[in-house]
Amino acid sequence: MTRIRLGMVGGGHGSFIGAVHRIAARIDDRFELVAGALSSDPTRALASAQALEIDPSRTYVNFADMARSEAQRSGGIQAVSIVTPNHLHADAAIVFLEAGIHVICDKPLTVSSQEASRIKTALEVSNASFFLTHNYTGYPLIREARHRIMAGQLGEIRLVQAEYAQDWLADPIEESGQKQATWRTDPKFTGGGGAIVDIGTHAYNLVHFVTGLKANELAADLSSFASRREVDDNAHIWLRYPNGARGQLWISQVAIGNENALSLRVYGSNGGLEWQQENPNILWITPKGGPRQRITRGSDRLSADAIAATRIPAGHPEGYLEGFATLYSDIADCLIDNIENQALPGIYDGMEGMFFIEACIASSAENSTWQALR
């Protein structure tokens, strides 16, 4: 099997999401990590690359140097994963797109709609592709839910309810220098949002991915409960859709007792469905007037979309890492075999995330007034 030569920007020693991307890229053996600008600190960059057995000659401190060097190199990287803090996404993505190197970018896209437009402009004149890793779209039963809704099994969608609750920021741990908390709660690195940026964009994207609905306006109430925190750590958001459907998102990183409680409920004129990320191998479907049905991952009676995202037999849990791996495998199919996949998040999903964040901030600042979504 041909492996895609992969580079990485960010993701050095101590990075959570960098390690996740590296594992995901190798699960289906479709990528080989051969180069990286893993840190802006030369010592740390070299040490991180050595730990990953990356050739020192392909270890960089500056991602712009990496893009130029790899583009000119025989056997240079074909794709790059960008796993830096949000404020570096745009500049990194643009230089690699300009070099003709495919970009795989962690979510959210960047820190503002203006920066998002810069990436979109670079993509439009590049011969490379751009992918965004909203990993929950890679779960088999999320793809099953999407298939059933698109097939009309729930009828016209009326109500959507998504929750993403965590508790790891219940205290201001950023003040102690905790790395993951420090940049996620600094508006200079996030673009002004907090929980809505870090996990809210996941919930918002998931609703759109599963239902196909695009909200046309929202109202948001953003709060910051931890002392001296400059960004939101809790949000209640109401959504209106052009077909008359209504939605609500609850986003929190201060909800004590919740680890990674992402859940989705969708109700239509003919039925409803429910899914929880912490038990991702079960999907509940209830047809109108019928009994509640428990659908499990791994059944050969599921849709081709769900089966394609399944690796192991029923009863063996698949989850977070495999969701990322499904996206990487889909990306490999696209880049190697030119197989288009409408399930793959891209630049427009990223821009929708920016519009969502900015509308939430504007609405909350104006006492939860309704804001149009572009």
Residues 258-310: pLDDT tens digits? 999 999 999 999 999 999 999 999 999 999 999 999 999 999 899 999 999 99
Q: Flag whether pLDDT at 1 surpasses 80.
A: no
Say whether both 219 and 303 belong to one domain: yes
Q: Flag whether pLDDT at 341 surpasses 90.
A: no
Domain residue limits at 150: 139-312+347-365
Angle between helices 89-98 and 63-72 (to 10 degrees): 20
Question: Mean of the pLDDT values across residues 343-354?
Answer: 96
Say whether both 229 and 262 belong to one domain: yes
CA distance 15 to 41: 14
Cβ count within 10 A of residue 235: 24
Give the model's pLDDT for residue 45.
Answer: 94
Domain end marker among 133, 163, 198 = 133
Question: Mean of the pLDDT values across residues 226-254?
Answer: 98
Question: Mean of the pLDDT values across residues 218-243?
Answer: 98
Domain end marker among 89, 112, 133 = 133
Asked if residue 339 belongs to a domain, the reply is no
Q: Flag whether pLDDT at 338 surpasses 90.
A: no
Asked if residue 342 belongs to a domain, the reply is no
Residue 251 amino acid letter: I
Asked if residue 279 belongs to a domain, the reply is yes
Asked if residue 326 belongs to a domain, the reply is no
pTM for this model (two decimals): 0.96
Give the model's pLDDT for residue 65.
Answer: 97
Question: Mean of the pLDDT values across residues 191-205?
Answer: 97
Say whether both 201 and 98 belong to one domain: no
Give the model's pLDDT for residue 300.
Answer: 87
Give the model's pLDDT for residue 79.
Answer: 98
Asked if residue 328 belongs to a domain, the reply is no
Give the model's pLDDT for residue 343.
Answer: 86
Of 35, 13, 125, 40, nearest to 81 by C-alpha is 35
Angle between helices 16-27 and 320-337 (to 10 degrees): 60
Per the structure, how many domains does the chain have?
2
Quote the percentage of the chain above a pLDDT of 90. Answer: 96
Q: pLDDT-derived band of residue 14, with 50, 70 and 90 as boundaries?
A: confident
The CATH number for 294's domain is 3.30.360.10
3-class DSSP state for residue 262?
A: strand
Say whether both 76 and 216 belong to one domain: no
Quote the percentage of the chain above a pLDDT of 70. Answer: 100
pLDDT tens digits, one per residue of 67-118? 999 999 999 999 999 999 999 999 999 999 999 999 999 999 999 999 999 9
Q: Flag whether pLDDT at 252 surpasses 90.
A: yes
Q: pLDDT-derived band of residue 373, with 50, 70 and 90 as boundaries?
A: very high
Pick from 180-184, 219-223, 263-267, 339-343: least confident: 339-343
Given a contact cutoff of 8 angstroms between Cβ atoms, the answer to whether 76 and 3 are in contact is: no
The CATH number for 102's domain is 3.40.50.720
Asked if residue 322 belongs to a domain, the reply is no
Give the model's pLDDT for residue 340.
Answer: 83
Say whether both 120 and 198 belong to one domain: no
Given a contact cutoff of 8 angstroms between Cβ atoms, the answer to whether 186 and 177 are in contact is: no
Mean pLDDT (the chain) is 97
pLDDT tens digits, one per residue of 109-167? 999 999 999 999 999 999 999 999 999 999 999 999 999 999 999 999 999 999 999 99
Query: 4: which DSSP letter?
Result: E
Say whether both 18 and 127 belong to one domain: yes
Question: Mean of the pLDDT values across residues 183-201?
Answer: 96
C-alpha torsion 151→136→3→350, nearest 10: 90
